[in-house]
Amino acid sequence: MKKITIGEASRQSGVKVPTIRYYEGIGLLSEPSRSEGNQRAYEPADISRLVFIRHARELGFEVDAIRTLLTLQDDPHQSCASADAIAKARLVDVEQRIRSLMALKVELEAMVEGCGHGRVDQCRVIEVLADHGQCAHAHHGLPALNIPAS
Amino acid sequence: MKKITIGEASRQSGVKVPTIRYYEGIGLLSEPSRSEGNQRAYEPADISRLVFIRHARELGFEVDAIRTLLTLQDDPHQSCASADAIAKARLVDVEQRIRSLMALKVELEAMVEGCGHGRVDQCRVIEVLADHGQCAHAHHGLPALNIPAS
DNA sequence: CCTACATCCTCTAGCGACTAGAGGTGCAAG
DNA sequence: CTTGCACCTCTAGTCGCTAGAGGATGTAGG
């Protein structure tokens, strides 16, 4: 029985220590056994689960989606239609997001390019912000979602 | 003196009523005068400011950046170097984000395509999540930022 | 003038996915 | 035996809103 401390689990999985505890709190990770001194003792399977979660988060899946994916993984006889649906939905979202960001990029480029580097009263950046009519008006507007910093 | 109610201001600017009050609370918007019955009474200049803010938020600028941009707008004799820098930083961020999302898209497509629509134990979606080694490993990882839904 | 009803007011709490810090305990090395 | 790091629990903060409670105001019709 190699018992893995939370710090070691963090190093092996790439998930930060407080985040591991957080995942336990919200039920993504089952409560591990404890040492004599009440410290969490993980097993290799827990590390795999953490890696799975981290990877899914990096791909932008929400915690709820990951919860579903994990239950699917735990029961390999089920149809993978749900997993497929979740991944497809995520793909659609990513595509939408890319489109929005491309539109933004165009506008920001125009703003930055138009800036004469003079005083504010000639600044295109400020001007465009003040008057939406001056946009390439590729009606931007991004869908919301937070994704971890890495 | 046409006094504008908060609801009318909301309609004219496209910023929701509670959001306007929120902006006042965090100091993006100065406190407007009040009617006899303590209701906020806005002026046309406030509407412009709200439109400015909304537009900047749509372009993904953070509230702090907007605060700076607003003080620049208020004092048109300043150099626009700061505005320029903020916009450029935002552009770099957007470009980074697009690159990350493109990498994601490639991986999600591979996952979805590889799914045989059978049972979970043959599902590429689950498999790839469990083992990062199977990625196109375009080392994804998105920078964080929340942007409004539209 | 009275009554509906929409709109306004303040205040607090909640969202998602963490992150930071306080204040205390466990454990391994010197 | 002490140092010092890693661990524990708990609460509160982050960002940019959004939702709801519980009450006051404003306006239009009867």
B120-139 pLDDT, tens digit per residue, is 777 888 888 888 677 655 55
Q: Which residues pair with B34 in a beta bridge?
A: B40
Write down the pLDDT at residue A126: 87
> Most B CBs within 10 Å: which of A106, A120, A132, as the mutation test of the B interface?
A120
Instruction: Please tell me which residue of chain A has the smallest CA distance to B149.
Output: A143
Higher pLDDT, A27 or B124: A27
Question: What gap in Å lies between CA B131 and CA B121, rounded to an integer?
Answer: 14
B79: its two tokens = 């150099």
| A114 near B CB under 8 A | no
Strand A33-34 to strand A40-41: parallel, antiparallel, or no bridges (unpaired)? antiparallel
Is the minimum distance from the CB of B16 to strand D below 7 Å? yes
Q: What share of chain A has pLDDT > 70, as a percent?
A: 83
Is the minimum distance from the CB of B146 to strand D below 7 Å? yes
Write down the pLDDT at residue B1: 58
Is the minimum distance from the CB of B35 to strand D below 7 Å? yes
Write down the pLDDT at residue B40: 98
Close Cβ partners of A47 (under 8 Å, ≥ 6 residues apart): A4, A9, A12, A13
A7-22 burial, b if ≥16 CB within 10 A, otherwise e?
Answer: eebbebbebeeebbee
Write down the pLDDT at residue B125: 86
Q: Is the pLDDT of residue A150 over 50?
A: no
Average pLDDT of chain A? 86
pLDDT-wise least confident of A42-46, A58-62, B65-69, B118-122 = B118-122
What domains are there in chain B, each with its CATH number?
6-62 (1.10.1660.10), 89-134 (no CATH)
The shortest CB-CB distance from B120 to any of A83, A91, A111 is to A83
Between positions 4 and 43 of A, the ones with CB within 8 A of B are: none
Q: Is the pLDDT of residue A27 over 50?
A: yes
Q: What is the arithmetic mean of pLDDT over A55-70?
A: 92
State the DSSP H helix or E strand holding residue B70, giving kind and residue range, or none if neither: helix B63-74
Question: CA B61, B63, B65, B70 torsion: positive or negative?
Answer: positive
Question: CA B21, B71, A108, A138 torsion: positive or negative?
Answer: positive
Main-chain phi, psi angles of B41, to 5 degrees: -125, 105
Question: What gap in Å lies between CA A105 and CA A100, rounded to an integer?
Answer: 9
Write down the pLDDT at residue A95: 92
On whether the CB atoms of residues B78 and A117 are closer than 8 A, the answer is: no
Q: Within its chain, how far is the Cα of B142 from the centroid?
A: 15
On whether the CB atoms of residues A76 and B119 are closer than 8 A, the answer is: yes
Task: Select the highest-mean-pLDDT range: A56-65, B20-29, B79-88, B106-115.
Answer: B20-29
Q: Is the pLDDT of residue B5 over 90?
A: yes
Confidence label for A23 from pLDDT (cuts 50, 70 and 90) = very high
Q: What is the arithmetic mean of pLDDT over B36-54?
A: 96
